Structure 1
């Protein structure tokens, strides 16, 4: 909260009751920590004159509350030549300030009395939030004192999620290349298997522990282990 925020109230002197309404609003804002200014606080007239005083108040204020009534709108537009010129002049300053800032507005706040209407809001201010008093006083006070009712929380750390990575897109050209590499690998594996089988067969054929010898006269047969002999008797054919 900024306790030194300056607030200026721009309004028309519609009736004595309306003047009392604006005075009560200004008194409450000052009582609750805001430097609020209205013309009723000036004794007599300001030394620099009303015109310069109004211009200075609008320029130096952090917020300008614009109390919108049918008479205020009429004078804001310059359509009441017989009435007070204060609102007419303030309307020119407000419109010019908005124009100079490309209507990026953080300063001018339209206010509607409880019996007022949105139709009484000047056209350059209709695109912004309007506060109806007294029921919207708390919301208005939050704005003036920078006490937002629902501030955004701080941004936390990003959450790391598990799971498999998404499938990678494979082009048709790459797919053909992968298929060709697979066929080559299968062909080489088959050749290696055949070669291994041939080598194993040769080793088995020429191994000394698995030889078989026979004698022509069938008197004896040696088989298996060379240390064990099996003799078979053969009968001759007649």
Structure 2
């Protein structure tokens, strides 16, 4: 195709998008929200994942909020939890207030994720807790602390490997056994 129709290098075609990744977060600040959006864009453009974030689909979500949230939790291949101080307050019952719809959604999603976690006998296949640089592990819900916590953007390669269900470091292939030759020296 002519250069004007070619896609930029590193961009994955829509047909290659298979895995659905849902990102859940609390809206701590504009800076925090911008970091969540950068993560979503990176996973979409560099990883080729179908990334869903509530801020991208507000009009769909408005028709039936709980059905929309249930669909994202149940049908996503992975859920990235962006842990933050407000996220922890929202899910631990110290927030949100009645007028904080996003915080209430966060609590609902957290409860649904805990149910999946318990149904899987506390083995975490689906939920990936991510800490933005600068946040401590205490901002992560207690039930997720017994799994690997990733830092964004520092651990981006590890997160991508987790989404691909691959190990970052591969075991070397076992080679042939060495042959030992004994030379007799008759001098």
Deviation at 1:136, TM superposition (A): 1.0
Using structure 2 for the length normalisation, give the TM-score. 0.77
- SS of the residue 2:66 aligns to: helix
Q: What is residue 4 of structure 1 aligned with on the other side?
A: 18
The 3-state SS of whatever aligns with 1:151 is: coil
Give yes or no for contact 2:130–2:151 (8 Å, CA) kept in 1: yes
Which structure has the higher relative contact order (CA within 8 Å, separation 6+)?
Answer: 2
CA-based RMSD:
2.3
Counterpart Cα distance in 2 of 1:34 and 1:101: 24
- Pick aligned residue for 1:100 from 119, 137, 148: 119
2:78 alignment counterpart: 63
Question: What does residue 30 of structure 1 align with?
Answer: 44
For residue 44 of structure 1, give the secondary structure of its aligned residue in structure 2. Answer: helix
Return the offset for 1:19. Answer: 1.2
Q: What is the distance in 2 between the residues matched to 1:157 and 1:71?
A: 55
How much has 1:151 moved relative to structure 2? 2.0
Larger Rg: 1
How many aligned residue pairs are there? 160
Gaps of 5+ in 1: 160-238
Partners of 1:43 and 1:127 in 2: CA distance? 33
Q: Is the 8 A contact 1:77 1:91 kept in 2?
A: no
Shift of 1:78: 2.5
Question: CA distance change for structure 1 residues 139 and 52 in 2, over 3 Å: closer, same or farther?
Answer: same
Using a 3 Å threshold, how does the CA distance of structure 1 residues 104 and 98 change in structure 2: closer, same or farther? same
Q: Which runs of 5+ in 2 are unaligned?
A: 1-15, 179-187
Does structure 2 conserve the Cα–Cα contact (< 8 Å) formed by 1:7 and 1:37?
A: yes
Determine the C-alpha separation between the residues in 2 that align with 1:143 and 1:3. 16
Q: Indicate the SS of the match to 1:129.
A: coil
Is the contact made by 1:3 and 1:145 (CA closer than 8 Å) also made in structure 2?
Answer: no
